[in-house]
Amino acid sequence: MKIYFMGICGTAMGNAALLARDAGHLVLGADNAAYPPMSTLLAAAGITLHEGYDPARLAALAPDLVVVGNAMSRGNPEVEWLLETRAHPFTSLPAMLHDLVLKSRRNIVVCGTHGKTTTTALTAFLLRENGRDPGYLIGGVPRDPPTGSRLGAPGEPFVIEGDEYDSAFFDKRSKFIHYAPHIAVLNNLEFDHADIFRDLADVSRAFGHLTRLVPRNGVIIANGDDPALLAVLENVRWCGILLAGTGENNFVRIVDFAEDAAGASFTLLRGGAEWARIHWQLPGLYNARNAAMAAAAAEFSIFDSRFPIGAPPRPPSFGAAAPAIENRKSEIKNSFSLAPLSRFRGVRRRQETLLATPALTIVEDFGHHPTAIAGTLRSFRNRFPAATLTAVFEPRSNTARTNRLQDDFARALENAHEVFLGPVNRAAALAAAARFDPRQVALRLAAKNVAAHAFDTNAALRAALAASTLPADPARPRLVIFFSNGSFDGIIPAYAREAGSRSPP
């Protein structure tokens, strides 16, 4: 089948295109700008990329199926032509994944407001390191496993990042509704995506719909420390529930977490008994929780064929999961290893270090929600206790651009010593009364003794940041961490290059 992807250079779209290619389909696509890293990966795979959107070209290509990315909207010339002519069948990316890949697999669907990409990568990595050949689709560019997508062996699990965002302009259901979960991993639940959800109750409703798709021989693995998730699970009676987290009610429990300049360490308990002691380089308790969720999901996917079918236990043994785990601890421990976690290198743009010298460390992070930003800043204060911590934030996501969470962003940024605030991305599309106000946030931070600066352009921000921090002074070490879920107008790599050229040899 010839499949044409509209918006092919998006991370999820590009990795899905590679999956379709690996499944034997002829794949091609278009995007407004064929940008790396995805454009490089697609070209290396022999997939033809077209610049821009052209109905005449699409008609001449005559694909058997058009996959419409959720970045496409009414007004796009190819979208309008498809709707007018119905010349070719079209579908959303999640629906295509279900029909071509997921409907015949035992799927691990990783969901939550934060940590989806890292937890998906961790789950696939652990399965591979334990001798399995899982399929996977990761919504980012992982360092481990070595690619962002793989079909894997037909009889093995398929691990996929389950986004709650809508599927396409013509399908407003959350993407994860299409993903046929056998194991649903629920990392956390907070309000986000203000452009499609009204409030936390609206987001919770979508997660509730997902839980109804888990079969009775499947399991929901959930963050047992998250009250919003526990509320969603309160009425689940049709499948097993396994809780993971720091509290005593969790079946998989994180204890003895510590973090310093050498990295992070923690112990995972399973059913009260030690499962593994982990030492690794990923920052923060939030990544320890990602590891706990991934370990539980990967283990269950291997052993679940012998787990009993029936209603899960309820409180107070809410996190006990299936009794078969308790009865077979030694079998599982001896055959499923968490030792590879010490080698896991993470995902690009998730607390990724771009430069590390005694005087200056530069980190890039995809953080665009207050909880994620606060956790990352607290973690890096532990790792760099002697450094001045400079946070550089771009209000870019469809929620961050609004003032819905403005107070929460201000509280999160209080964890830095210094803050540089970029302008609101696509500000003209929002009414002033609904828009994030960088200058107001800067004033609030200043009242909390945080040196804060707001800028009208990202170019002005970069110039001020360079003037303030370069050349770096070894006597006053500094950590600069950028938070953006987009390009930040290219200032991140530009600043890193300039800093590298001005660092002492």
Q: Which residue ranges make up each domain of the chain?
A: 2-94, 101-245+284-328, 352-501
- CATH code of the region 2-94: 3.40.50.720
Residue 95, SS3 per DSSP: helix
Q: What are phi and psi of 234, to 5 degrees?
A: -55, -35
Task: For residue range 289-343, list pLDDT tens digits in order.
Answer: 999 999 999 999 987 544 333 333 333 333 444 444 444 444 444 568 999 999 9
Tokens of 9: 């250079």
What burial letters (b/e) apply to 444-476, b meaning 16+ CB within 10 Å?
bbeeeebebbbbeebeebbeebbeebbebeeee
The stretch 148-177 carries a mean pLDDT of 94
**Contact by Cβ (8 Å): 263, 280:** yes
Percent of the chain at pLDDT > 70 equals: 92
**pTM for this predicted structure:** 0.88
At residue 310, the pLDDT reads 33
Predicted local distance difference test score (pLDDT) of residue 475: 87
In this prediction, residues 133-161 reach a mean pLDDT of 92
23-32, 87-96, 193-202: least confident range: 193-202
Average pLDDT, rounded, for the chain: 90
Confidence of residue 504 (pLDDT cuts 50, 70, 90): low
Cβ neighbours of residue 145 closer than 8 Å, sequence gap 6 or more = 121, 124, 125, 128, 136, 138
Predicted pLDDT at 14? 92
pLDDT of residue 36: 67
Report the distance separating Cα 84 and Cα 69, nearest Å.
18
Amino acid at 138: I
Domain 101-245+284-328 has CATH 3.40.1190.10: yes
Provide mean pLDDT across the span 164-190.
Answer: 95
Distances (CA, A) of 196 to 98, 169, 226, 263, 394: 23, 11, 22, 38, 21
Mean pLDDT of 117-121: 95
Predicted confidence at residue 83, as pLDDT, reads 97
3-class secondary structure, 490: helix
Instruction: Tell me the mean pLDDT in the region 77-94.
Output: 97
Q: How crowded is residue 204: how many other Cβ atoms within 10 Å of its Cβ?
A: 17
Q: In sequence order, what E strands does 347-504 have?
A: 352-356, 360-365, 388-393, 418-421, 451-454, 478-483
The mean per-residue pLDDT over the stretch 224-232 comes to 95
Least trusted range by pLDDT, from 126-135, 303-312, 432-441: 303-312
User: What band does 346 get if pLDDT is binned at 50, 70 and 90?
Assistant: confident
**Average pLDDT of 400-411?**
94
What CATH class does 352-501 carry?
alpha beta
- Written as six digits, the tokens of 51 are 């610049």
Query: Mean pLDDT across the stretch 406-428?
Result: 96
